Structure 1
């Protein structure tokens, strides 16, 4: 589905996309990559410019935990295409959910996401 991604490449992408992730903790980023159930990426030659990383049971629910696009490549349809590929792969019976950063709240409805008011979270310590 995707080229292999290193923790270093993911860290650089997160930094260039503006997404808040533990970019200095390469061990944690590597675990994030290894334990994802579904990952789609976008590349400019050998440069990682986008990623959609999900955790799913492939039957009922899919959590899109990372959607990141390098700021130099945003507004070119890359995020939209990564979401489309994710949705196509999981199919119509699986609900795609995500937690949005405040700055992206206006973006996700454009991609077909519905804002929900019935979610809860126990937030991580760091």
Structure 2
């Protein structure tokens, strides 16, 4: 049985492991950077199979107007079980109805998010990171 937790502290090593297991492209070898990512997130929803971290939804939000879902990752062994959907639903519950939930999808996930109620928008701009 999968348990969702909000605000559960995780280590950079745990985050790296779930990123690797999910095949999401993140800097998994840079634990300091992952630590900083965790420290500066203000909404973390995690999925657990007993004591094993199997999913993460990491967001930055003001809990009033908008929420940027920066990372949605589910271990490949646990995908196609609705865990990603549950992580998003819990994130939406935490931010409330007045906040927009925004994310940037990888090419591989472009067909996934509309199934969860996300609208595709073209009015987005990005200044890419240098590395």
Specify the TM-score bucket, using the shorter chain as the normaliser. over 0.9
CA distance, structure 2, for counterparts of residue 67 and residue 29 of structure 1: 14
Q: Which runs of 4+ in 1 moved over 3 A?
A: none
Residue 108 (structure 2) aligned to one of 103, 107, 118: 103
Aligned length: 126
**How many angstroms does 1:42 deviate by?**
0.3
Following superposition of structure 1 onto structure 2, how do residues 38-53 of structure 1 map, counting pairs within 5 Å?
38-53=43-58
Residue 34 (structure 1) aligned to one of 39, 54, 67: 39
Structure 1 residue runs of 5 or longer lacking an equivalent are none
Q: Which residue of 1 aligns with 2:78?
A: 73
**How many angstroms does 1:39 deviate by?**
0.5
Following superposition of structure 1 onto structure 2, how do residues 54-65 of structure 1 map, counting pairs within 5 Å?
54-65=59-70
**How many angstroms does 1:45 deviate by?**
1.4
Structure 2 residue runs of 5 or longer lacking an equivalent are 1-5
TM-score (structure 2 length as normaliser): 0.94
1:118 match: secondary structure: coil
What root-mean-square deviation, in Å, do the aligned CA atoms of Structure 1 and Structure 2 show? 0.7
